Amino acid sequence: MERESQIKQRIQERYDIVEALYSSWFTENPTLVFPKEKFYQREHIEKHRAITYLLNKGYIVANSVENEPEMVEISITSDGIDFYEQDFLSGKGNGWSIVTEHSDKE
């Protein structure tokens, strides 16, 4: 049961990140800017792994801010938007329901 809880928390962490970037995308400032040390959270390893996962999947992008080497700008990609919207509209808009549904099928 502990493993299931960890999986649910990890999925939720990824969805929370994608949701924040999705919401930002449809505002005047479609990118979020953070200090690199805050974005690449080494002290919060689960968030760091979630960010790495989303970057590797191509759902988000992170680029250095021009003339500000300590800053990074993050935005959602078109794949990330599709991923978020499809799962939201199908009722899988958060990690908890995805894991529960998967567990019920077994």
**Is the residue at 35 inside a domain?**
yes
**Is the residue at 104 inside a domain?**
no
pLDDT at residue 97 is higher than 80? no
**Is the residue at 66 inside a domain?**
yes
Please give the backbone phi and psi of residue 12, each rounded to the nearest 5 degrees, phi first: -65, -40
**Is the residue at 106 inside a domain?**
no
**Is the residue at 86 inside a domain?**
yes
Q: What is the CA radius of gyration of the chain?
A: 15
**Is the residue at 105 inside a domain?**
no
Confidence (pLDDT) at 19: 93
CB-based contacts of 2-10 (< 8 A; 24+ apart in sequence): 4/99, 4/103, 7/99, 8/95, 8/96, 8/99, 9/46, 9/95, 10/46, 10/49, 10/50, 10/95
pLDDT at residue 98 is higher than 60? no
**Is the residue at 32 inside a domain?**
yes
pLDDT digits over 25-64, tens only?
999 889 999 898 888 777 788 888 999 999 999 999 999 9
What residue numbers bound the domain in which 84 lies? Answer: 2-97
**Is the residue at 71 inside a domain?**
yes
CATH code, domain carrying 31: 1.10.10.10
Q: Count how many domains the chain has.
A: 1
